[in-house]
Amino acid sequence: MNERAEGTRDPGEQRRLELALAALAGLAVAGFVVGVNAGAGDARVTGAVPEHAAMPAEVVAKAHGVTPAQPYKALAGMRRGVNAAWKSDVKLLAPELSDRTQGPKTPASAAAVKQAVAERAERRAYDGAPPVVPHPVQQRGGLACLSCHAKGAVLGEGIERRVASAISHPELTNCTQCHVEQANAQWGPQHWPEASASTFVGKASPTEGPRAYPDAPPQMPHSAHMRERCSSCHGPTGPEGLRTSHFERQSCQQCHTASADDDQRAVPGFGARFPVGAGTPPWPAPQR
């Protein structure tokens, strides 16, 4: 084998390849025939008549054998329902989070939100600032921070309990570029006081996002840029006031939209403040 020049094939291998190709062709033909016949004569799909306008949703649903759509308000009471085909088992979804898998069933109280927001604000100069690092950093090697913050971790119990939030952007490895330590191992808080000589007042943290109407899912009140992992704050290990009441749902942006303005996604020609012109790829060739 080793002496044979590259590009030639041994005869056995060639035969096997031909057989495989023939089988594949056969399957494709069969699949096509089955496919075009499927669904033929299915009146429930093709024969739907829009007579439901004046009828209650349940009646329409029963007549057509489908599950009625529910208002968002009603979902809170319904979504954990069990049927023959599906049984809720959050433990299977996120076994590592077993200590809090049940989570809150109702949205957090206003007081809890307020407390969570205040705690959050302590670690940020303004809403949107990268949080400061509340513990000493002894960084040796770019991955040091990720040993706790890659997946997130809960350390200690009771009043000692600390949560290392999972980072949304582990691909950015120079962590201390943005996150500044506030508990330098060498110089403790006794060296801080004069820093209060600042009158800077930061943008306040939001307590909730805007809603289109009372029961609508709120829009994200903050940028999603570098904060795509919602569960870091809103998941079961997040502070009570930020925790979602339905954390078994994994696709947050399905219902909670991000703000184009917060995310700086304004499109040129559609009211962008800085139209993208020169200085943006692709660059034309130089004209001489």
Partner 1 sequence: MSQANDRAHPQNDALSPADAVSADPVSRRAFIKLSAMAAATAAAATHLSDATAAPARKGPAAGATGVTWNKAPCRFCGTGCHVEVGVDKSVPGGKVVAVRGAQKAAVNKGLLCVKGYHVGGALYGRDRLTTPMLRVDGVLKPVTWDKAIDVMADRVLKDPKGFAIYGSGQWTIPEGYAAQKLIKGGLSNNHIDPNARLCMASAVTGFLGVYGVDEPAGCYEDLDAADVVILWGNNPAEMHPILFSRIVDRRSRGQKVELIDLTTRRTRSSDHADHVMIFKPQGDMAIANGVAHLLLKDGTYDKAFVQKHLNFRHNPDPDKPSLFGKPMTFEAYKKALEPYTPEHVEALSGVPAAQIRLLASRFANPKLKITSLWCMGMNQHTRGTAVNTMVHGIHLLSGHFGKPGDAPTSLTGQPSACGTAREVGTLAHALPGGRIVKVPAHRAQTEKLWNLPAGRINPKPGYHTVKMWEQFTKPTDKGGDIHTIFVQVTNPGQSLPNLNHLFNDKKDLKDKFLIVSDVYPTATTVLADLVLPAAMWVEKNGVFGNSERRTQQWFKMVEPPGQARDDCWQTIALARRLYERGHAGMRDKDGKFLFDIKDAAGKSVPVWDWAHYYDVNVDKALFEEYRGFTTLKHKDLAPYDEYVKAHGLRWPVVQTKSGTWRETRFRFSEFDDVYVKKGAEIDFYHSKTKDGKAQLWFHPYTPPPELPDKDYPMWLCTGRVLEHWHTGTMTMRIPQLRRAMPHSYVEVHPKDARKLGVHNGDKVVVESRRGAVTLPVWIEGRGAVVEGSVFVPFFDERGLINNVTLHLFCPISKEPDYKKCAVRLRRA
- Compare residues 107 and 221 and give the one whose CB is closer to partner 1: 221
- Contact flag: residue 192 with partner 1 (CB under 8 A): yes
Burial 214-251 (b: 16+ CB within 10 A, else e): eeeeebbebbbeebebbbbbbbbbbbebbbbeebbeee
- Contact flag: residue 287 with partner 1 (CB under 8 A): yes
Stretch that binds partner 1, among 56-64, 67-75, 81-89, 193-201 (CB under 8 A): 193-201
CB of 273 to partner 1, least distance (A): 7
- Contact flag: residue 285 with partner 1 (CB under 8 A): yes
144 alpha carbon, distance to own chain's centre: 24
CB of 176 to partner 1, least distance (A): 7
Q: Do residues 169 and 226 lie in contact, with contact meaning Cβ atoms separated by under 8 Å?
A: yes
Stretch that binds partner 1, among 41-49, 157-165, 187-195, 236-244 (CB under 8 A): 187-195
Give, as ranges, the residues between 116 and 145 that touch partner 1 (CB under 8 A). 118, 122, 125-130, 132, 139-142
User: CA 284, CA 210: separation in Å to the nearest integer?
Assistant: 42
Residue owning tokens 């009140």: 221
Please report how many Cα atoms fall inside a 13 Å half-sphere around the Cα of residue 45, on the Cβ side.
5
Binding string to partner 1 for residues 194 to 233, with x set by CB under 8 A, is what?
xxxxxxxxxxxxxxxxx----------xxx-xx-------
Stretch that binds partner 1, among 13-21, 52-60, 92-100, 175-183 (CB under 8 A): 175-183
Structure tokens at 268: 């040129």
Query: Which of residues 27, 155, 178, 216 is near partner 1 by CB under 8 A?
Result: 178
Structure tokens at 156: 């200690």
Taking phi over 0 as left and psi of -120 to 50 as alpha, with beta for the rest, 272 belongs to beta
Q: Do residues 100 and 236 lie in contact, with contact meaning Cβ atoms separated by under 8 Å?
A: yes
- Compare residues 176 and 253 and give the one whose CB is closer to partner 1: 176
Q: Do residues 169 and 131 lie in contact, with contact meaning Cβ atoms separated by under 8 Å?
A: no
- Compare residues 128 and 217 and give the one whose CB is closer to partner 1: 128
Please tell me the total number of residues recorded for the chain in this structure. Answer: 288
- Contact flag: residue 173 with partner 1 (CB under 8 A): yes
Q: Which amino acid is at 253?
A: Q
- Compare residues 59 and 143 and give the one whose CB is closer to partner 1: 143
Rg (CA), the chain: 28
- Compare residues 248 and 263 and give the one whose CB is closer to partner 1: 263
- Contact flag: residue 193 with partner 1 (CB under 8 A): yes
CB of 241 to partner 1, least distance (A): 14
First-to-last alpha carbon distance for the chain, in angstroms, is: 58
- Compare residues 64 and 120 and give the one whose CB is closer to partner 1: 120
Stretch that binds partner 1, among 89-97, 101-109, 149-157, 176-184 (CB under 8 A): 176-184
Q: Do residues 133 and 181 lie in contact, with contact meaning Cβ atoms separated by under 8 Å?
A: yes
Of 244, 242, 232, 80, whose CA–CA distance to 148 is shortest?
232
Stretch that binds partner 1, among 149-157, 239-247, 250-258, 275-283 (CB under 8 A): 275-283
Query: Which of residues 177, 251, 271, 282 is near partner 1 by CB under 8 A?
Result: 177
